Amino acid sequence: MSGPSDYQPSNPALQWIERRLPILGLVHSSFVVYPTPRNLNYWWTFGAILSFMLGMQILTGVILAMHYTPQADLAFKSVELIVRDVNYGWLLRNMHAVGASMFFVAVYVHMFRGLYYGSYKEPREVLWILGVIIYLLMMATGFMGYVLPWGQMSFWGATVITNLFSAIPYVGESIVTLLWGGYSVGNPTLNRFFSLHYLLPFLIAGVVVLHVWALHVAGQNNPDGVEPKTEKDTVPFTPHATIKDGFGVACFLLLYAWFIFYMPNYLGDADNYIPANPGVTPPHIVPEWYYLPFYAILRSIPNKLAGVIAMFSAIIILCFLPWLDAAKTRSSKYRPLAKQFFWIFVVVCILLGYLGAQPPEGIYVIAGRVLTVCYFAYFLIVLPLLSRIETPRPVPNSISEAILAKSGKAVASIMVALVAAGALFVGTLQDARAEEGGTRPPGNKWSFAGPFGTYDRGALQRGLKVYKEVCSNCHGLSYIAFRNLAEAGGPGYSPAQAAAFASDYKIKDGPNDQGDMFERSGRPADYFPSPFPNEQAARAANGGAAPPDLSLITKARSYGRGFPMFLVDFFSQYQEQGPDYVAAVLQGFEDKVPEGVTIPEGSYYNRYFPGHAIKMPKPLSDGQVTYDDGSPATVAQYAKDVTTFLMWTAEPHMEARKRLGLQVFVFLIIFAFLMYFTKKKVWADSH
Amino acid sequence: MNPDASTIAAGAPIEVDLSPVAEGQDIKVFWRGKPIYISHRTKKQIDEARAVPVASLPDPQSDEARVKAGHDQWLVVIGICTHLGCIPIAHEGNYDGFFCPCHGSQYDSSGRIRQGPAPANLPVPPYQFVSDTKIQIG
């Protein structure tokens, strides 16, 4: 991509091809001999990381699409069946869902890198604008992908986002109808989003080719922001950049694998494990984390149309960056003021992201407005002004000169990391103290917690007994088949035991040759029958509140962890909000209603239930279920056992996930070390 | 990409029997995939809705213009918040009307926006009384 290649393959077959289609020469000139600045730091490996992530998303996405059903009544279930029944389906789904987040992590680093080092400046304006287009396409793709599992957050996220377009005067309503393909978000919407979600990644790949082309015409920017002048300023792309990018990708994979194998639901929302319901709005609709800063800008403006315009302008303004910042010096390394404002801007973006996840009330609204002003002021006031008043430090004459002048700055970064870790630790202590005696579910010791957690077989078997004798009177378990009871990582029954267990159930089947439905005894392939034929019957029989299906309940329930616990959880791999909540609700019934709380007729007081008024009467009491293995027949023990069992029903492949995770980590760490030492060897002469 | 024929056919008018809805109660029916609230308002709710000076409202509209004359106790509105499309909860909020849990918009007993980010009143769907106890929506 940088002019005609002088590449001459030695193999006659390759020569034959090269004369007719010089594709090998193109690859050779773009990715082998291509001169790359010698002083690039690791922030420049994010380009390669992004290409890798795009490939990963397309690969996993294509396979997932082979198993997914884009139909409103079946979509949610088909995703669950991918996770439960498809070979390594849980891995594919986690890779794809976490991959979207990782893609955005990498793109934000990549964008801030460009911002800091002035990579958008002449002659790289088109390169930068192509990047903004890729980012916009990514946002659209990510949004439509999030709709496909058709959970509550998918449905309501789609409703809120498509309604943004209704703010457009005159044509807004027609545009929204066009997006929906109906009168509200529904099956046609899901179908077209699936189609577009499949299409857009290939458009992204196309624009990426243009992006790389523009990059190879203008050449890469570098931390010092001076163009390479002599041969001494550059090194060939291969092996130098290739191996360095390889090491960068290996390190990034460690982060990616941390989420895939140990906390796949950390970045998601518990509400998305509840099937979409057009009649119930979740109390707090939050988009995926990567849209939060823009969502905060949208909400901080009280006028609907103005809010939508502000949100889109916040992205579009990036296109004008090359002209807003007219400073001649590229790199903020040599711009003392711009450097400080850059870091302030980073903090503003992070705080906006935090506000986007908070309820829009009180101080959050005011803070949101202040930060929105700061966001736009950075582009419209600070950058234009700085380019006029700032005196930059002298820029080195060449890249080689900059490398010679380089001094170690690692100490400062290590200090910053230590202070951050210390702050987190202090936060943990404070939070632990605040937790006593509140309405937050108390933490439990779960056998399945942590990186080596496994299910306690005894607890699973006892929990199944509690479910069968108590819960199953009102609650279904419709994603669990009897055969699952005999699968590895489950309660540890033999196939014969599972078959015997199944034969106790009466399953409705048919129609037979006479056209009648009939009942037969259960087989291992049958699913647990639900206690009510449909949701309306369940609702009518339970005072208006339908008992939820329990297959996913431990993943569909959660509670806010608050700041800074959600950061601590990343390191401690705490994933048990759901089980803690379920166990707490089962034990949280109290006869004495505290003062100031009124419980409506037909409801019961529960300390941990949001709002405290629960329709379910106290389900468990001491001695209700007889245990054969001598475990105490207490409510606490029942609650713990049945919660363990329900965690298994929600995540039947958890043990396989954590086992494979360990193997992957051992491999990746060794691989990263090998890459690092290879890189050191390759670069030995170039530093 | 506009709605196909079957979607349009499914959006045909529906009839709703109002006789089981007691005073002070409301029902939610779905029409064109949208929730429609039908409230049998109490005297107090009607009086509250009519006592407000219309000019002081963010989206000025009199209660009389939002119900059918002679059937003043029946309020029929599309239960979709005009802000970003969530479903408000009936009988909540400070105005004896609807409260949207998403971004805190509050509507009064006539479905008019009183507080919060929503720009407009809850829309009234096209409907007419077929008899005293039956309406046709659409």
DSSP symbols for A404-446: HT----HHHHHHHHHHHHHHHHHHHHHHHHHTTTSSSPPP---
Our CA angle for B8, B10, B12, nearest 5°, is: 80
Lowest-pLDDT choice from A548-557, A572-581, A594-603, B103-112: A594-603
Q: What is the mean pLDDT of residues A225-251?
A: 93
Cα separation values, A344 from A290, A337, A338, A473, Å: 19, 11, 10, 57
Are A524 and A493 a contacting pair, CB within 8 Å?
A: no
Q: Give Cβ neighbours of residue A181 (< 8 Å, ≥ 6 apart).
A: A188, A189, A191, A192, B1, B2, B3, B4, B7
Cβ–Cβ below 8 Å for B86 and A186: no
Tell me which of B81, B84, B91 to substitute to probe the interface with A (most A C-beta atoms closer than 10 Å). B84
The answer to whether residue B4 neighbours chain A at the CB level (below 8 Å) is: yes
Provide the pLDDT for residue A424: 56
Our CA angle for B118, B124, B125, nearest 5°, is: 125
Provide the pLDDT for residue A632: 93
Structure tokens at B7: 């979607």
Are A574 and A558 a contacting pair, CB within 8 Å?
A: no
Would the pLDDT of A201 be above 50? Answer: yes
Q: How many CB atoms lie within 10 A of CB A361?
A: 9
Element (H, E) at A28: helix A23-31
Q: Measured between beta carbons, which residues in chain B are less than 8 angstroms from residue A192? A: 1
The answer to whether residue B104 neighbours chain A at the CB level (below 8 Å) is: yes
Query: Binning pLDDT at 50, 70 and 90, where does residue A284 land?
Result: confident
Instruction: State how far the Cα of A266 lies from the Cα of A98, in Å rounded to an integer.
Output: 9
Q: Give Cβ neighbours of residue B21 (< 8 Å, ≥ 6 apart).
A: B27, B38, B40
Per the document, the length of chain A is 687
Within-domain flag for B17: no
Cβ–Cβ below 8 Å for A284 and B3: no
Provide the pLDDT for residue A410: 54
Instruction: State how far the Cα of A479 lies from the Cα of A127, in Å rounded to an integer.
Output: 48
B91 part of the active site: no
Would the pLDDT of A2 be above 90? Answer: no
Within-domain flag for B8: no
Within-domain flag for B137: no
Provide the pLDDT for residue A646: 96
Q: Measured between beta carbons, which residues in chain A are less than 8 angstroms from residue B115? A: none
Residue A564 buriedness (CB in 10 A; 0-12 / 13-18 / 19+): middle
- pLDDT tens for A372-381 read 999 999 999 9
Pairing, β B89-92 against β B74-78: unpaired
Instruction: State how far the Cα of A152 lies from the Cα of A278, in Å rounded to an integer.
Output: 8
Instruction: State how far the Cα of A6 lies from the Cα of A26, in Å rounded to an integer.
Output: 10
Lowest-pLDDT choice from A510-514, A558-562, B36-40: A558-562
Placement of tokens 């899901």 in the chain: A190
Q: Which residues is A518 bridged to in the sheet?
A: A509
Cβ–Cβ below 8 Å for B33 and A182: yes
What's this model's pTM, rounded to 2 decimal places? 0.90
Q: Give Cβ neighbours of residue A52 (< 8 Å, ≥ 6 apart).
A: A249, A252
Closest chain B CA to residue A161: B84
Would the pLDDT of A131 be above 80? Answer: yes
Within-domain flag for B15: no
- pLDDT tens for A607-637 read 898 878 888 999 999 999 999 898 999 999 9
Instruction: State how far the Cα of A149 lies from the Cα of A128, in Å rounded to an integer.
Output: 33
| Better-predicted residue by pLDDT, B119 or A257 | A257
Within-domain flag for B27: yes
Instruction: State how far the Cα of A459 lies from the Cα of A461, in Å rounded to an integer.
Output: 5
Provide the pLDDT for residue A5: 58
Instruction: State how far the Cα of B88 lies from the Cα of A281, in Å rounded to an integer.
Output: 8
Which CATH number fits the domain that encloses residue B54? 2.102.10.10
Q: Measured between beta carbons, which residues in chain A are less than 8 angstroms from residue B33? A: 182-186, 278
**How high does pLDDT run on average in chain A?**
90
State yes or no: cis peptide before A511, omega within 30 of 0: yes
Q: How many CB atoms lie within 10 A of CB B98?
A: 28
Instruction: State how far the Cα of A180 lies from the Cα of A164, in Å rounded to an integer.
Output: 13
Within-domain flag for B7: no
Q: How many CB atoms lie within 10 A of CB A636?
A: 14
> Which residue from A188, A281, A302 is facing B86, i.e. has the nearest CB?
A281
Would the pLDDT of A276 be above 50? Answer: yes
Provide the pLDDT for residue A418: 64
Closest chain A CA to residue B34: A184
Are A244 and A45 a contacting pair, CB within 8 Å?
A: yes
- pLDDT tens for B47-58 read 888 888 888 888
Within-domain flag for B53: yes
Query: Binning pLDDT at 50, 70 and 90, where does residue A434 land?
Result: very low
Return the number of CB contacts < 8 Å for A and B: 75
Element (H, E) at A36: strand A35-37
For residue B123, give the DSSP letter: P
Query: Binning pLDDT at 50, 70 and 90, where does residue A416 land?
Result: low
- pLDDT tens for A527-560 read 999 999 888 899 888 877 889 999 999 999 988 8
Q: Give Cβ neighbours of residue B60 (< 8 Å, ≥ 6 apart).
A: B54
Q: What is the mean pLDDT of residues A92-97?
A: 97
Q: How many CB atoms lie within 10 A of CB A597?
A: 11
Are B125 and B30 a contacting pair, CB within 8 Å?
A: no
Cβ–Cβ below 8 Å for B117 and A304: yes
Q: Check the CA dihedral A66-A67-A69-A70 and report its sign.
A: negative
Provide the pLDDT for residue A285: 84
Structure tokens at A484: 């699952």
In 3D, which of A137, A119, A120, A145 has the Cα closest to residue A206?
A137
The answer to whether residue B27 neighbours chain A at the CB level (below 8 Å) is: no
Cβ–Cβ below 8 Å for B104 and A361: yes
Q: How far off is chain A from B56, nearest CA to CA, in Å?
A: 18
Structure tokens at B49: 């809705």
Per the document, the length of chain B is 138
Provide the pLDDT for residue A299: 85
In 3D, which of A267, A266, A648 has the Cα closest to residue A453?
A648
State residue A544 phi and psi, 5-degree precision.
95, -10
Q: What is the mean pLDDT of residues A276-290?
A: 87
Which residue type occupies A681?
Answer: K
Provide the domain count of chain B. 1
Cβ–Cβ below 8 Å for A183 and B102: no
In 3D, which of A552, A531, A447 has the Cα closest to residue A491?
A447
State yes or no: cis peptide before A600, omega within 30 of 0: no
The DSSP annotation for A579-595 comes to HHHHHHHHH-B-SSPPT
Q: Which residues is A481 bridged to in the sheet?
A: A527
Provide the pLDDT for residue A539: 84
Query: Binning pLDDT at 50, 70 and 90, where does residue B104 land?
Result: confident
> Which residue from B3, B30, B85 is facing A159, i.e. has the nearest CB?
B85
In 3D, which of A247, A226, A360 has the Cα closest to residue A234?
A226
Provide the pLDDT for residue A595: 81
Provide the pLDDT for residue B90: 84
Which residue type occupies A567?
Answer: L
- pLDDT tens for A556-585 read 998 888 778 888 888 888 889 999 999 999
Our CA angle for A55, A58, A62, nearest 5°, is: 145
> Which residue from B1, B2, B104 is facing A360, i.e. has the nearest CB?
B104
Q: What is the mean pLDDT of residues A2-28?
A: 83
Q: Measured between beta carbons, which residues in chain B are less than 8 angstroms from residue A307? A: 117
Tell me which of A165, A174, A183 to substitute to probe the interface with B (most B C-beta atoms closer than 10 Å). A183
Tell me which of B102, B115, B137 to substitute to probe the interface with A (most A C-beta atoms closer than 10 Å). B102
Are B105 and B118 a contacting pair, CB within 8 Å?
A: yes
Question: What was the ipTM of the complex prediction?
Answer: 0.76
Within-domain flag for B50: yes
Q: Give Cβ neighbours of residue A659 (< 8 Å, ≥ 6 apart).
A: none
State residue A36 phi and psi, 5-degree precision.
-120, 140
Q: How many CB atoms lie within 10 A of CB B3?
A: 19
Q: How far off is chain A from B48, nearest CA to CA, in Å?
A: 25
Q: Which domain holds residue B55?
A: 22-126
